Structure 1
Amino acid sequence: MSRSRSRRRAHIAMVGIPAVSHVLPGLAVIRELVARGHRVSYANDPAVAGLIAPTGAEFVECVSVLPVADNNWPEDPVAVMDLFLDNAVRALPQLRAAYRDDPADLYLYDIGGYAARALAETQDRPLLQLSPTFVAWDGYDQEVAAPLRRLPGADAHRARFARWLADCGASTTDPDAFPGRPSRALALITRAMQPHADRVDTDTVTFVGPCFEAAADTAGHVTADGVWEGTAGGGAGWTRPADAENVLLISLGSAFTRRPEFYRQCLAAYGDLPGWHVVLQIGRYTDPRELGAVPANVEIHSWVPQRAILEQADAFVTHAGMGGCGEGLLAGVPMIAVPQAAEQFLNADRLVELGVARRVDTAEATAETLRTALNDLVTDGEVARRSALLSARARAEGGTPRAADLIEDLLD
């Protein structure tokens, strides 16, 4: 643990959204700030209260309208943007009630926590975004945002966003800049995963790499009604079987896990593969009975301590969510990327560009394709060299101690 460099003990507030993939990346930072003696409050939906509690932060209830419990997101990008705006409209009065008489000295917020920025600007308090994924770059507006603004319904969305910003008294009134252009941000990802990293404004954004605790992991699961059960930091680890020559972890994360046919193809590809022990995480949407007979070298779980396994693994089949990519790179494990949604396709291509992965789309994920991809990865000496190099670079970015140091710098 890094020693606190700030003599001032402050009230630091974190505002998040209840998506597990957005909560997990910053938990070690929150725990570190508490350990340094700061009073930390964390506003989020009750669904993730059990995940936040072990950090020592004070939980502040802020009910969300985002459809994370059933993962029922619309396919229309504008409809998704409307949901995040709806969530901000619902969240801001709750945050004002919680922090009106007890304002924070510094507000931290997730990329989806728009209401936190509005609150901090109206209270004239310092503000820092914690981004669990890649950030905007010079040219992002023209290359990514502009096409979205031409979609049906986008003009109405932007007009409603602008009215909300004016009504709530935020000092940033541009509905395009407000969600995507923070005044200051820490990217909790390795710089290697950032698209066009050379075009990112480093006066605004600092890459600190994946933020974890040195000897801890997260263990738990999401229940049928979307509530997290388990621990964060210091959770159960995983023991590599004594007879396992090689270990393969297969995980599609926490959301897009209703993929029984894909899991069956994995069992056909890697079941009884000589020398390999397989850990298969299937999430909460798939019944293990749908997978048929389970080979002796495979263990199946709804949730696993992913970091603990990756530190002992030899390969990783991943959906290429940013969290999984960061964990895989940090562990120096070659990956088979099977993207499922959103930015995962970009992430998968980036892993291939980095020379540490093969991309296999779900429709092409047959037993033969998956087995060939694994063999190609683990027999390629250049993949091993690149994996080790990128692991060293990710660790050198500073992680949790550096993130906490930079946050404390804003209190000086």
Structure 2
Amino acid sequence: MSHIAFLNIPGHGHINPTLPVVTELVARGHRVTYAVPAGFTGPVEHAGAVPVVYPTTLPVADQEWPTETAPAMKLFLDEAVALLPVLEAAYADDRPDVVVYDIGAWTARILAARWGVRAIQFSPTFVAYEGWEEDMGAINDTPEMKAVYAEIGAWLRSEGVTVDAPTFVGHPDRAVVSIPRSFQYGGDTVADKYTFVGPCIGDRSFQGSWHAPADGRPVLLVSLGSAYTNEPSFYRACLEAFGDSDWHVVMNIGKHVDRAALGPIPANFEVHRWLPQLEILSHAKVFITHCGMGGTMEGLYHGVPMVGVPTLGEQAMNAMRLVELGVGRYLPHKQVTAEALREAVRELAGDRDVADRLAAIRSEIRAAGGTAAAADVVEEGLR
């Protein structure tokens, strides 16, 4: 029985895509441990892994991530500095045979090198392509980013790592990518060390159940994810746009917004603070989303057209990519009105060409192999 260690960061969009792979690896006879903060032990145990619990310094619960790249990377660095000795001690008497790690789990490559085992990155988002550095130049050349990279480099040298900071952060030795190649920018120029397996979808029964309306109305799902949900004006615009319409609207408002402050809730609306998104998407006709990569992939997996209302830079890239592929619309927050939301949803719901393009992407996703293909790459690391 091989021991496979997963190292991740405390984010649903990062942890959820890996859980079906954990279940698959356990079913194949491997023992899996998973380093996570206490708030994520339930899903990890449900997937079949043994949690290795650590205290995180990253934003969790009601805290929000910074919207700029440099402050976010500084958070990853602070987490890595604090976490390296903790995880090294936790695994001292139970060293893994291979390490699978998230793009933000920077301790993993250092620990894998010390243990003499392979490290395989699990990327739930875009990866480097030919010309990546040039395209990222405007971001990486800012004083803030240069300062963060200098600090990362100093930390790496103090830990005996000779790789420079940009290479360490952005260029793994081997990687699984849980998006379809067609969604990746410059997908045909990405190196062979990256294996695009598409979304890894598995059992989410631990998130609860949901039942489609008995009256047969088309389902419209509205969710801004789990972090940046303090948007009462956005939710009111949705209520105005689709209240008393032919849609059955399922709307997630998160933890921050006072439901009473939204005013009367139309009879055709369900309003929740948390919902089993994957289950609802299997019934939805359109998805209004912040375009986090996890939700975007779940929408594509189920062939659901999306209206993107992003907050962060990566989310905006996802929304723009949906537009480029002809399967979505992009509405910046400043342009969100009831009328704009109605029009975007109307266009997507009735467009046969959009449906055909989504069907092609669904076929690509199924052919990519998903969970089983990801597990194959991990097992390759054992050999």
- Relative to the length of structure 2, the TM-score reads 0.96
Tell me the equivalent position of 1:204.
Answer: 193
Tell me how far apart the structure 1 counterparts of residues 281 and 24 of structure 2 sit (CA, whole Å).
23
Q: CA deviation at 1:189?
A: 1.4
1:112 and 2:97 correspond: no
Contact 1:31 1:56 survives alignment (8 Å): yes
Residue by residue, what CA displacement relative to the aligned partner does 1:73-95 show, whole Å, maximum 9, x if unpaired? Answer: 33443222221111110110011
Higher mean alpha-carbon deviation, 264-273 vs 379-388, is at 379-388
The code of the aligned residue for 2:236 comes to R
Alignment of 1:223-262 (within 5 A): 231=206, 235-262=207-234
Cα gap change, 1:148/1:371 in structure 2, threshold over 3 Å: closer, same or farther? closer
Tell me how far apart the structure 1 counterparts of residues 86 and 37 of structure 2 sit (CA, whole Å).
11
Tell me the equivalent position of 1:264.
Answer: 236
Tell me how far apart the structure 1 counterparts of residues 284 and 145 of structure 2 sit (CA, whole Å).
45
Tell me the equivalent position of 2:270.
Answer: 299
Tell me how far apart the structure 2 counterparts of residues 392 and 237 of structure 1 sit (CA, whole Å).
27
Contact 1:122 1:169 survives alignment (8 Å): no
Tell me the equivalent position of 1:78.
Answer: 70
Tell me how far apart the structure 2 counterparts of residues 366 and 159 of structure 1 sit (CA, whole Å).
43
Contact 1:184 1:205 survives alignment (8 Å): yes
1:310 and 2:281 correspond: yes
Tell me the equivalent position of 1:12.
Answer: 4
Alignment of 1:9-408 (within 5 A): 9-144=1-136, 146-170=137-161, 172-201=162-191, 203-213=192-202, 216-217=203-204, 231=206, 235-274=207-246, 276-408=247-379
Tell me how far apart the structure 1 counterparts of residues 288 and 144 of structure 2 sit (CA, whole Å).
37
The code of the aligned residue for 1:111 comes to I
Q: CA deviation at 1:409?
A: 1.9
Residue by residue, what CA displacement relative to the aligned partner does 1:335-370 show, whole Å, maximum 9, x if unpaired? Answer: 111112120111101101111111112111111111
| SS class of match (1:343) | helix
Residue by residue, what CA displacement relative to the aligned partner does 1:170-227 show, whole Å, maximum 9, x if unpaired? Answer: 3x521110011000000011222211111211x21000000012xx225xxxxxxxxx
Higher mean alpha-carbon deviation, 294-303 vs 385-394, is at 385-394
Contact 1:280 1:299 survives alignment (8 Å): yes
Q: CA deviation at 1:245?
A: 2.7
Contact 1:21 1:254 survives alignment (8 Å): no
| SS class of match (1:206) | strand
Higher mean alpha-carbon deviation, 80-89 vs 103-112, is at 80-89
| SS class of match (1:279) | strand
Tell me how far apart the structure 2 counterparts of residues 193 and 386 of structure 1 sit (CA, whole Å).
12
Higher mean alpha-carbon deviation, 345-354 vs 46-55, is at 46-55
Contact 2:67 2:313 survives alignment (8 Å): no
Q: CA deviation at 1:43?
A: 0.8
Contact 1:314 1:334 survives alignment (8 Å): yes
Q: CA deviation at 1:148?
A: 3.1
Alignment RMSD, CA only? 1.5
Q: CA deviation at 1:107?
A: 0.4
| SS class of match (1:316) | strand
- Relative to the length of structure 1, the TM-score reads 0.90
Tell me how far apart the structure 2 counterparts of residues 75 and 344 of structure 1 sit (CA, whole Å).
11
Contact 1:131 1:185 survives alignment (8 Å): yes
Residue by residue, what CA displacement relative to the aligned partner does 1:20-46 show, whole Å, maximum 9, x if unpaired? Answer: 211111111112111222111111222
Higher mean alpha-carbon deviation, 242-251 vs 150-159, is at 150-159
Higher mean alpha-carbon deviation, 72-81 vs 31-40, is at 72-81
Identical aligned pairs, as a percentage? 47
Tell me how far apart the structure 2 counterparts of residues 105 and 386 of structure 1 sit (CA, whole Å).
41
Residue by residue, what CA displacement relative to the aligned partner does 1:10-68 show, whole Å, maximum 9, x if unpaired? Answer: 00000011112111111111121112221111112222222212112111122221123
| SS class of match (2:291) | coil
| SS class of match (2:32) | strand
Residue by residue, what CA displacement relative to the aligned partner does 1:341-400 show, whole Å, maximum 9, x if unpaired? Answer: 120111101101111111112111111111111111112111111111211211221111
Tell me how far apart the structure 2 counterparts of residues 81 and 357 of structure 1 sit (CA, whole Å).
29
Higher mean alpha-carbon deviation, 152-161 vs 112-121, is at 152-161
Tell me the equivalent position of 1:225.
Answer: none
Q: CA deviation at 1:97?
A: 0.1
Contact 2:64 2:228 survives alignment (8 Å): no
Tell me how far apart the structure 1 counterparts of residues 8 and 62 of structure 2 sit (CA, whole Å).
18
Tell me how far apart the structure 2 counterparts of residues 23 and 94 of structure 1 sit (CA, whole Å).
20
Give the unaligned 5+ runs of structure 2. none
| SS class of match (2:143) | coil
